[in-house]
Amino acid sequence: MSSKNDHMLPLGLLLQRESTNEKIDKPEILHGQASQIKKGEDFTMFKTECQRIPGDGTTTFSVFGLFDGHNGSAAAIYSKENLLNNVLSAIPSDISREEWLAALPRAMVAGFIKTDKDFQEQAISSGTTVTFVIIDRWVITVASVGDSCCILESAEGTIYSLSADHRLEENEEERDRITASGGEVGRLNMVGGAEIGPLRVWPGGLCLSRSIGDRDVGEFIVPIPYVKQVKLSSGGGRLIISSDGVWDALTPEMATSCCRGLPPDCAADQIVKEAIQPKGIRDDTTCMVIDILPLDKVTPPNPPPKKQGKGVFKSMFRKRGTESSTSCDKDFELDVVEEIFEEGSAVLAERFDTQYPLCNLFKLFMCAVCQVEMKPGEGISVHAGSSLPGKLRPWDGPFLCPSCQAKKEAMEGKKALGDGAARHSSASE
């Protein structure tokens, strides 16, 4: 369709086209939530009108969070109040939208660690799972620690997992990491030697391998989140974030199908009802439902047509860059969820890779975790002590301040535990 005269279009028309596209390209985001409370340790947050560039309404993004606390609600409340700021302050200013999106996964890692570190300084023994979602137009970025999982159902009805399950019972890699860091993994010992319940880490008896807080359990219960970033097709999709009370009772297929066609608030209600119905309320059970809809489709979607592959819990995505994806192909790529980023390593040096596309934009003498300014020579490379021979040099950034370096070493099990008395009798959920 290109003609020789394309470059002759007046600027005003081009700008008009751009702003029209902007409107079309931005989805409507509707959300609802429901919960049944037993202990009062579940907390949620949402902010639908955040602005990447303050004052610029075209740069809005939405934030959703679910915090399922244990041993009290202090860690959940603290994370709800501070995590977003800690994530956003780890993103350099004056960058484009594309760079901002590329910076998000690393900023989420920094923000989770800073929130955990600051909370632990308050010397409160509580902990929390965190599932934290940022939606910028069609791009969804999810960072999670713990077992409050997040799933996505695309417009065509395919279900994707956007979070990891950090329950020790389900995650052998994490069990190995904790054992290697000096933790003990086992079941609850009853009098007489019988072992019951899920695998837990001792001391403390926590069932999770990652969380924010939990200073008494050990630093190897790290706050480093699994992060996944995907791009929806312009057909949109539905996100479901729930605490473990839902996922213990419902499969992702059950959760999506029991509320299909309902608006988000009714959908969340329905999911919680379905989860509780068989056994009653055993734990706090919270669900958030977020619909990401094309503007011409703001009424809730009808049941999507059944397609091949529906009902299969997919973890496969089309990788970005594997195929040509010029704008001409757009019409043929409807209903394809594109995976942009996925990383779950608990090793900080791997999450703050030197290959990071924006490394040069970060100020050299600023701690990559807490953003404190450092004097030249004061920072310690995140790669210091790395065992990767020849690949990385200790003078390569990014750099950590001495306090965040100590936190890094503690998370890697290089610090002796403080009060390491085994407390097999006081298991926490």
Binding site for Zn ion (CB under 5 A): 367, 369-370, 401, 404
In the complex with Zn ion, the residue whose CB is nearer, 143 or 367, is: 367
- Alpha-carbon distances of 58 from 22, 55, 188, rounded to whole Å: 8, 9, 53
What token pair was written down for 408?
A: 């890094």
Taking the complex as a whole, how short is the minimal distance between the CB of residue 370 and Zn ion, in angstroms? 3
Q: Which helix (H) or strand (E) holds 176?
A: helix 172-180
CB of 205 within 8 A of CB of 186? Answer: no
Question: Considering the complex, what minimum distance in angstroms separates the CB of residue 120 from Zn ion?
Answer: 14
Smallest gap from residue 276 Cβ to Zn ion (A): 43
Considering the complex, state which of residue 75 and residue 369 has its C-beta at the smaller distance from Zn ion. 369
Q: Smallest distance from the beta carbon of 117 to Zn ion, in angstroms?
A: 8
In whole angstroms, the minimum distance from the beta carbon of 90 to Zn ion comes to: 11
User: Is residue 244 a contact partner of residue 147, using CB atoms and an 8 Å limit?
Assistant: yes
CB of 129 to Zn ion, least distance (A): 24
Query: Looking at beta carbons only, is 240 or 401 nearer to Zn ion?
Result: 401
Neighbours of 260 (CB within 10 A): 16
Report which residue type is found at 131.
T
Closest to Zn ion by CB, 241 vs 369, is: 369
Q: How far is CA 171 from the centre of its chain?
A: 17
Q: Which is nearer to Zn ion, 206 or 369 (CB)?
A: 369
Cα four-point dihedral sign 295, 159, 113, 105: negative
Q: For tokens 């009290």, name the residue.
A: 72
Minimum CB distance to Zn ion smaller for 250 or for 368: 368
Least Å distance between CB 310 and Zn ion? 46
Which residue in the block uniquely carries the two structure tokens 């309404």? Answer: 57
CA dihedral 246, 252, 253, 259 (to 10 degrees): 50
The span from the CA of 113 to the CA of 381, in Å, is 17
Of the candidates 221, 220, 231, the residue with the CA atom closest to the CA atom of residue 104: 231
- Residue that the structure tokens 């977003």 belong to: 84
Q: In the structure encoding, which two tokens stand for residue 216, read together?
A: 């008494």
For residue 77, give the DSSP letter: H
* Residue number, 90 or 293, with CB nearest to Zn ion: 90
What is the spatial distance between Cα 66 and Cα 286, in angstroms, rounded to a whole number? 8
CB of 274 to Zn ion, least distance (A): 44
Task: Tally helices (H) and strands (E) across the chain.
Answer: 9, 18
Which class for 280: exposed (0-12), middle (13-18), buried (19 or more C-beta within 10 A)? Answer: exposed
Least distance to Zn ion, CB of residue 369, Å: 5
- Closest CB to Zn ion among 61 and 112? 112
- Residue 230: which of 337, 333, 137 has the closest Cα? 337
Closest to Zn ion by CB, 83 or 289 = 83
